[in-house]
Amino acid sequence: MSQFTRRSLLKSSIAGTAALGMESLAFGATPGTAAHKGRIHQSACRWCYQQIPLEQLAKFVATIGLSGIDLLQVEEFEVPRRYGLICTMGYAGGGEIGKALNRIENHAAIEQAFRRNIPLAAKAGVPNVITFSGNRAGMSDEEGAKNTVLGLNRVKRIAEDNGVTICLELLNSKRNHPDYMADHTAWGVRVMEQVNSTHVKLLYDIYHMQIMEGDLAETIRGNIGWIGHFHTGGVPGRHELDSRQEVQWEFIMRTIAETGFVGYVAHEFVPTGDPFVSLRQAADLCDV
C-alpha cells in the first residue's frame, strides 16, 4: 500500500469528492440536530475536509450532534464557537511530525510557541494541543524518550497553568510515517510516566496503533490514564469506518466509554464518497 501523509491524503480526498456531493456541500447539513447518547464526545479533523469551508463544516458538525472540530490553526480556534462547538485539539507550535521533542535542539522553539499559543487556546476554550516525538534518524528509542521527557517537562507548567493538555501523538512507522519514534504505546506510556502531569497525555490514534500493534481494547483499558485524546480512521486505507475495515468500531467505542473517558474522539478518516454522508455514518456508528 502506498504511503500516505495528511497532505497526500488531502489531495486524493479533494479529487474524490469533487465529482460527488458538491451540491450537498453547497447547501450544508440535513435539517435538525441529532440526539446522541453522549458517552463518546466526537469531533471531526479539519484536514480531512479541506474542500469544505470551515464555517460550513462546523455548521454540519453541529447539526449531527458532534462536539467540535479537531486540528485547527490558532487563527481558526474561535470559528467552532459560533456554532456551539469547540476546537477539540489545536496546533500550537508543537513541532513537526519528523522534527520535534526527541531532539533537544527543538525544545526552545517548541517552548516559545507554546508560551505564545497555549494561552490563546485556553482563551478560546481549546482543551488540547498536539505535539510529536519526531523521527529516529539514527537515535535510539532510549535517548529519544529521555529527550522527549526533558522537552515535555520544560513545557508542562505552561499547560498546567492554562488548563490545556499537551497531547503527544502515537503514529505508525510501518506505513505512513517511516522512522517516527513514538510508534508504540509502551514507548509513549514510559514517557508519560516520567513526565507525570495531568496536562500531558497521549493522543492514541486507533488507525495508527492498529497497524503497529493491534490489541486495541486491552491496550486502551490498560493505559487509559495516560490517554488524553483519540483519533479514528479505517484500516486499511484510512477511509470510512464501515464493514470494509478490520476494526470493530462499535466495540472499541464501548471499550472507551466503559473506562469513563471524558475526552474527545476525533474522526480522522478521508472520505471516498460524499463527506457529509460518511461523517454522519461514523458519528452514528460511534454513538454507543
Pick the CATH number of 6-26+44-285 from 3.40.50.300, 3.20.20.150, 3.55.10.10, 3.30.450.20: 3.20.20.150
Residue 34 has what pLDDT? 59
Q: Is 151 left (phi over 0), alpha (psi -120 to 50) or beta?
A: alpha
From first to last of the 288 residues of the chain, give the pLDDT tens digit. Answer: 333 344 444 444 444 444 334 334 433 444 445 567 889 999 999 999 999 999 999 999 999 999 999 999 999 999 999 999 999 999 999 999 999 999 999 999 999 999 999 999 999 999 999 999 999 999 999 999 999 999 999 999 999 999 999 999 999 999 999 999 999 999 999 999 999 999 999 999 999 999 999 999 999 999 999 999 999 999 999 999 999 999 999 999 999 999 999 999 999 999 999 999 999 999 999 999
Three-state DSSP at 184 gives coil
Residue 132 has what pLDDT? 98
Residues 220, 88, 95: CA angle, nearest 5 degrees: 85
Give the contacts of 28 (CB within 8 A, at least 6 positions apart).
56, 59, 60, 63
Backbone angles phi, psi at 225, to 5 degrees: -65, -20
DSSP 133-149: --B-TT--HHHHHHHHH
Residue 180 DSSP label: B
Nine-digit cell string for 135: 523521527
CA–CA gap between residue 52 and residue 22 (Å, rounded)? 9
Residues 195, 228, 39: CA angle, nearest 5 degrees: 155
Residue 25 has what pLDDT? 42
Residue 226 has what pLDDT? 98
CB atoms within 10 A of CB 1: 9
Burial 31-48 (b: 16+ CB within 10 A, else e): eeeeebeebbbbbbbbeb
Contact 163, 126 (CB under 8 A): no
Nine-digit cell string for 11: 489531495
For residue 218, count CB atoms less than 10 angstroms from its CB and return exposed for 0-12, middle for 13-18, buried for 19 or more: exposed
Nine-digit cell string for 209: 496503533
Domains of the chain, residue spans: 6-26+44-285
